[in-house]
Amino acid sequence: MDKASLKNYPRFTLGDTITKEQLDFFTKYGFVHFTGVFSPEEVKEFILGYEDAQAKLIASKDKVVNGIPVIFGHDENGKRIVQRFPYTSQWSERIHKMAIDPRIQGFRQLLHQKTARVAEDERDGVVFNHYVNSKHSRFKQMGWHTDSLREVFYGKKVYETLNIGIYLDNSSAINGGLRILPGTHRQGLFGMLFTKMYYRNTKEDKNEVLVEATAGDVVVHHGHMWHRVGHSEHKDGVSRRRIMYIPVLCGPKHKPKATTNKKKTPIYHHLQAFAKFDE
């Protein structure tokens, strides 16, 4: 399959195990898309879990969770919302149950690593992203980046990782949408560090592939892969795009982070000060 045909890449159905076809596709391109993994009722449960957790966090007046900064903003009605929420499953039993669901745990098969684990209490845990293109939103897009750069800043060996994306709204080109550079998961450390300017570069790449997904879909991408999130052409509520990302990590298990704000913010997250999230 060449780059042109990847514009219409295959979507798969998730079964009890990852098939050879699905594994081969992921190994070659660094991502794999499963349709209808979660039902509309389950999607509603996840959104309720986020809303409950959001209310708790705002009431607590905390601005960081386990040392990771929270991005707050306002929706189209001027209501304060959490737009990037790290460790969400520590604040919501509904989302915690999702993270331990066998369907989620099964994606570990993509890495062929005995140490592969769904990491609720490591790195940023389960992250809930809430994009909305409104006047006072602070999270409208995300520039080019890889998820594995943080390992460099942590001073750790760069092991393979996954990010499991659970779509809670339909996602398309006009509504922002994830863009990926297939095959870049095979790059070395130099490429991971210097191919693009992290977060500041939001420009279209001629080789990027748009991920178009429906609420309930799951798209898994390799942590070494370059990707970005586009800016919605819609305004206000119509532009809303919510997605949860669950990390799968390999290598030695790091000391889990308890729910506390008495943690030093990793250097990696200071890069966000230079990001173009709200432009």
H/E stretch holding 98 reads helix 93-99
- Give the model's confidence band at 229: pLDDT under 50 very low, under 70 low, under 90 confident, else very high: very high
- Residues pairing with 244 in the sheet: 128, 166
Which residue would you say has higher pLDDT here, 127 or 155? 127
State the chain's mean pLDDT as an integer.
89
pLDDT score of 47: 98
> Could you give phi then psi for residue 114, rounded to 5 degrees?
-65, -30
Number of H helices, E strands in the chain: 7, 14
- Give the model's confidence band at 207: pLDDT under 50 very low, under 70 low, under 90 confident, else very high: very high
pLDDT single digits (tens) 257-274:
555 555 666 665 656 555
Q: Name, in order, each residue with C-beta under 8 angstroms of 102's C-beta and a sequence gap of 6 or more.
A: none
How much of the chain exceeds pLDDT 90, in percent?
A: 67
Q: Which one of 3.30.70.20, 2.60.120.620, 3.40.50.10490, 3.30.70.380 gives the CATH number of domain 29-274?
A: 2.60.120.620
**C-alpha closest to that of 270 among 89, 67, 58, 95:** 67
Please spell the DSSP secondary structure of 188-204, one letter per residue.
-HHHHHHSS-TTT----
pLDDT score of 126: 97
Q: Is the pLDDT of residue 123 over 90?
A: no
pLDDT single digits (tens) 138-191:
888 999 999 987 766 666 678 899 999 999 999 999 988 999 999 999 998 888
- Give mean pLDDT, residues 58-86: 94
Q: Name, in order, each residue with C-beta under 8 angstroms of 196's C-beta and a sequence gap of 6 or more.
A: 144, 145, 226
Helix, strand, or coil (residue 103): helix
Q: Which residue has the tokens 């060449």?
A: 2
pLDDT score of 166: 98
- Give mean pLDDT, residues 195-218: 94
Please spell the DSSP secondary structure of 1-42, one letter per residue.
--TTGGGGPPPB---SS--HHHHHHHHHHSEEEESS-S-HHH
Q: Is the pLDDT of residue 45 over 90?
A: yes
**C-alpha closest to that of 263 among 160, 164, 154, 182:** 154
Give the CA-trace dihedral at 120, 244, 178, 13, to 10 degrees: 90
CA distance from start to end of the chain: 35
Count Cα neighbours of 200 within 13 Å in the Cβ-side half-sphere.
Answer: 8
Global model pTM greater than 0.75: yes
H/E stretch holding 120 reads none
Q: How far apart are CA 237 and CA 132, in angstroms?
A: 7
- Give mean pLDDT, residues 236-243: 92
Contact 13/36 with Cβ under 8 angstroms?
yes
Please spell the DSSP secondary structure of 130-184, one letter per residue.
EEEESTT-S-S-EEEE-STHHHHHTT------EEEEEESS-B-STB--EEE-TTG
